[in-house]
């Protein structure tokens, strides 16, 4: 198994470290050819407007859409979640891969970044009762469509959601010690 990590801007190295620590190899994705031979893809946090410009500059929109159409698992963190969402507020281009609406920066500006514990976890999927969550200029999930499952919440609001092969979260598990979200994503790939 090899995991691609979009490595144009933002927190890609930290994601690679997490996946490598779980014994799985990674490949930085910067051009179309990098999509061959990857079984799943992580879109890291960063700045979604900047990421969009770079994705267009490097001509990766169709490669991303093709990868998604093949039902290969994709996990988007923070700006990555914004890229995957169906609706973004304020409006900007997105892949529309998961039926959620997200509001950019709705948890506050950089100075309002915070670390908090998630709400109690009911599902056994993560093997823990609560998870530490790092929020950095995080997007807020405003609504989720019928086909979307909420896996984690903070103050009753969704912060980790899944629709089929797409996983998206507003926080940064790559900056905490717990590898449960990366493990969950690797299990999605193994099952796909
Ligand atoms: N606020 C950023 C955006 O709108 C996301 C921040 C992050 O990825 N940590 O793209």
Can you tell me which atom of ligand 1 is nearest the CA of 104? 4
Nearest CA to ligand 1 atom 6: 137
What pLDDT, on a 0 to 100 scale, did the predictor assign at position 123? 80
Q: Establish whether residue 46 lines the binding site of ligand 1, counting it when its CB lies within 6 angstroms of any ligand atom.
A: yes
Q: Which residues contact 190 (CB under 8 A, 6 or more apart)?
A: 1
List the pLDDT tens digit at each of the 192 positions of the chain.
999 999 999 999 999 999 999 999 999 999 999 999 999 999 999 999 999 999 999 999 999 999 999 999 999 999 999 999 999 999 999 999 999 999 999 988 878 789 999 999 988 889 889 999 999 999 999 999 999 999 999 999 999 999 999 999 999 999 999 999 999 999 999 999
Question: Cα separation of 182 and 33, whole Å?
Answer: 24
Q: Which CATH number characterizes residue 76's domain?
A: 3.40.50.880
Q: Residue 17: give the domain boundaries.
A: 2-191
Q: Residue 165 in contact with residue 188, Cβ under 8 Å?
A: yes
pTM of the model: 0.96
Question: Cα separation of 185 and 113, whole Å?
Answer: 25
Q: How many domains does the chain have?
A: 1
Structure tokens at 189: 């790939």
Count helices and strands (H / E) in the chain.
5, 12
């Amino acid at each position: 198994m090899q995991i691609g990590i979009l490595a144009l801007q933002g927190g890609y190295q930290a994601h690679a470290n997490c996946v490598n620590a779980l014994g799985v190899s990674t490949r930085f994705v910067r051009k179309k050819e990098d999509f061959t031979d990857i079984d799943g893809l992580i879109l890291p946090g960063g700045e979604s407007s900047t990421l969009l410009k770079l994705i267009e500059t490097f001509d990766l929109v169709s490669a991303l859409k093709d990868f998604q159409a093949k039902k290969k698992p994709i996990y988007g963190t923070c700006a990555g979640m914004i890229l995957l969402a169906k609706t973004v507020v304020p409006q900007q281009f997105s892949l529309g891969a998961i039926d959620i609406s997200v509001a950019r920066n709705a948890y506050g500006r950089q100075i309002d970044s915070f670390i908090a514990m998630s709400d109690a976890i009911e599902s056994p999927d993560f093997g823990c009762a609560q998870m530490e969550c790092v929020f950095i200029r995080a997007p807020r999930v405003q609504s989720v469509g019928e086909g979307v499952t909420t896996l984690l919440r903070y103050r009753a609001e969704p912060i980790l959601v899944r629709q089929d092969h797409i996983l998206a979260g507003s926080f940064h598990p790559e900056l905490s010690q717990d590898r449960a979200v990366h493990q969950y994503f690797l299990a999605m790939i193994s099952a796909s």
